Amino acid sequence: MELTELDALALARAVREQATTATEVARAHLGRAERLSDVVGAFARLTPERALAEAAEVDAAVARGETSAPLLGVPCPIKDLNPVAGVGWEAGSVVLRGNLAEVDDDIVGWFRAAGTVVLGKSATPEFGLPCYTEPEGAPAARTPWDLRRSAGGSSGGAAAAVAAGLAPIAHASDAGGSIRIPASACGLVGLKASRGRISAGRLRVPGPGLGTDGVLSRTVADTAAALDVLSGHGVGETYHAPAPASTFAEAAGREPGRLRIGVLTTPVIAEADVHPACLEAATRIAGTLAGLGHDVGEAAVPFPVERWEAFGALWAVGAASIPLPEAAEPLLRPLTRWLRERGRHTSGVAYAEAVGAVQRLTVEVAQAWDAWDVVLTPTLAQPPALVGELRDDDDPAADFAAQTRFTPWTSVYNLSGRPAVSLPLHTAVVERRELPIGVMFGGRFGAEETLLSLAAQLEDAVGWRHPFVVVDPV
């Protein structure tokens, strides 16, 4: 196989066994990225000199016999919401055009310690706020399955890079679905870890605990290996997740046992139409799970739609809290301005009430779903959206509402702090194009091991493929 078609662990093994070098791996991925990045909107910027220098350091370490790093020589872009020292850091916004990071975010160091090589910064929408990646003055992130369609967001550039073979794995983050949404749109594995599983690091505060870092990958084993790399950092943490019984890599290699799995296809956070392909994906996989010996039943909607408004308040206050000069405000995207204005008009009492509402919802989700080991839903209510389909600059409120209808399950796990993973277990032909349709599995708080074991079982039983073909945009 081509180096750009190997998964992360296979590449690390090849470098470790000296079947190839980290430099050869980096050159292969940089060459493909230089040809295709703008086509799929994957990178905000490539850093070839840095990547080759880091790859040379890996090769020197291998020559010295230092080969224990789990992701040895693996190319891994960093999302442009996170700083990498000396590299442009614009967070998808024109107001930060030309901004250079002075220091590394802690997660950059954790990836580097694991042996990865930074190819560049993956594209993100403005400050990661929408679930599509259409940054001003830059190519939209598109799923390589159909270049008319969005790769999702906010980790859309990361997903486009991995799906198109520009990187085997990519840093991503998820505060409302931003790992799982692009995973579904691009046919990838995307895990949002439990609240407190991965530290926010020293440069960021965890706030209400909606967001977490992670990766997008093409295999369950790669996702598990990355979770082992990222978990357990930091001291004095605000949130804590229970330690795993073993390693996450080991969990992905063992049978899950007989699980109780609840199936829910009714939207939770918004009243939304669900596309037949998304319903079919969930129904088909529920049948597969029953055939594998799991106990499958119907899960309940955990709370009324209107109660989700607490998330909207936290999201808007988060947008308003981004430190920007007043002169930058007119340059922001309409959605960003609308969210910031809404956040500025949220009183301290209203914010406290929203935090309290989220805490109550967390209890209600546990009461509704803890009888199940896993809850299965579609990841999204629709197939990958057309570029521009969700965006509405003339009516940002309608834009935000369209996003909630598109993602009526993902943010439940951010509110409750529970883990969830999107798996590319289904495809459907929509408008004469085969498209990936993600299926999402959520677990009890701290139960990533269960999710990874089940995901690996489904990967073996059902499987998925990655075409590595990008349709000529002409």
For the chain, give the number of residues: 474
Q: Which two tokens stand for residue 83?
A: 């700083």
A 10 A CB-CB count for 25 gives: 27
Q: Residue 239 gets which letter from DSSP? A: -
346 C-beta neighbours (distance < 10 Å), count: 17
- Burial (CB count within 10 angstroms: exposed 0-12, middle 13-18, buried 19+), residue 320: middle
**Who's near 164: CB < 8 A, 6+ residues apart?**
32, 36, 39, 40, 42, 144, 468, 470
Where do runs of H (alpha helix) occur along 246-347?
Answer: 248-251, 276-291, 309-320, 334-344
What does the alpha-carbon distance between residue 454 and residue 251 come to, in Å, rounded to a whole number? 9
Contact 28, 4 (CB under 8 A): yes
Residue 178 near residue 151, CB atoms below 8 Å: no
Q: Which residues are catalytic?
A: 79, 154, 178
What distance in Å separates the CA atoms of residue 123 and residue 38, rounded to the nearest whole number? Answer: 10
Amino acid found at 158? A
Residues 137, 130: Cα–Cα separation, whole Å: 16
